[in-house]
């Protein structure tokens, strides 16, 4: 099963959170009688995910758990295009292990950087808030507080918002170290 974690909201109420397949099944079950919009968010990025909810629950689960094809799916490796200048390719080719190993090491090093992690958590919280709370009172002020790293002001601006929205935004923000 995919370990991609997601959260589903029915309007401003959290419907489910957890692995993608489990959240998708909850969304599929709720979709028929949904009186409010159903949105699914990837927790790592805060982005809205579109789900293909067709078929039975078993078919949906099988589709989400199927290997992806290209690359080395058992390891989670995906092949994509990278465009670099010749001098960059030359440098990568001279590194031990070649281009792929070197790029993976550089990415992992950047992912461990606390500044990068805090920025990614901040961006995820902003994407989530933009999609679900963009029309709530105080959204602009909350956004400014978020990017000013003013937690107290952010919580104050979100105090009148639905509890699930504010709590999820803060949880995304707290995913960064040193918070």
pLDDT tens for residues 120-165? 999 999 999 999 999 999 999 999 999 999 999 999 999 999 999 9
For 116, residues 6+ apart whose C-beta sits below 8 A from its C-beta are 110
With vertex at residue 5, the alpha carbon angle to CA 60 and CA 132, rounded to the nearest 5 degrees, is: 95
**By three-state DSSP, how is residue 17 classified?**
strand
Give the torsion sign (CA, 110, 114, 120, 124). positive
Least confident of 97-101, 117-121, 167-171: 97-101
Q: Per-residue pLDDT tens for 61-86?
A: 999 887 665 555 566 677 788 898 99
Can you give the pTM of this predicted structure? 0.80
Task: Fill in the DSSP letter of residue 168.
Answer: H
């Amino acid at each position: 099963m995919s370990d991609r974690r997601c959260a589903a909201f029915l309007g401003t109420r959290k419907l489910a959170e957890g692995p993608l397949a489990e959240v998708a099944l909850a969304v599929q079950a709720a979709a028929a009688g949904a009186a409010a919009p159903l949105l699914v968010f990837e927790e790592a990025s805060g982005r809205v995910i579109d789900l293909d909810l067709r078929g039975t629950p078993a078919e949906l689960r099988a589709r989400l758990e199927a290997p992806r094809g290209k690359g080395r799916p058992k390891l989670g490796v995906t092949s994509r295009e990278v465009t670099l200048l010749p001098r960059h390719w030359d440098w990568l080719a001279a590194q031990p292990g070649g281009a792929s190993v070197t790029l993976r090491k550089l990415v992992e090093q950047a992912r461990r950087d606390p500044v990068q992690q805090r920025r990614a958590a901040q961006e995820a919280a902003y994407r989530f808030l933009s999609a679900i709370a963009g029309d709530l009172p105080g959204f602009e002020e909350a956004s400014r507080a978020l990017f000013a790293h003013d937690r107290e002001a952010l919580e104050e601006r979100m105090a009148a918002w639905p509890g699930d929205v504010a709590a999820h935004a803060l949880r995304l923000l707290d995913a960064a170290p040193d918070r």
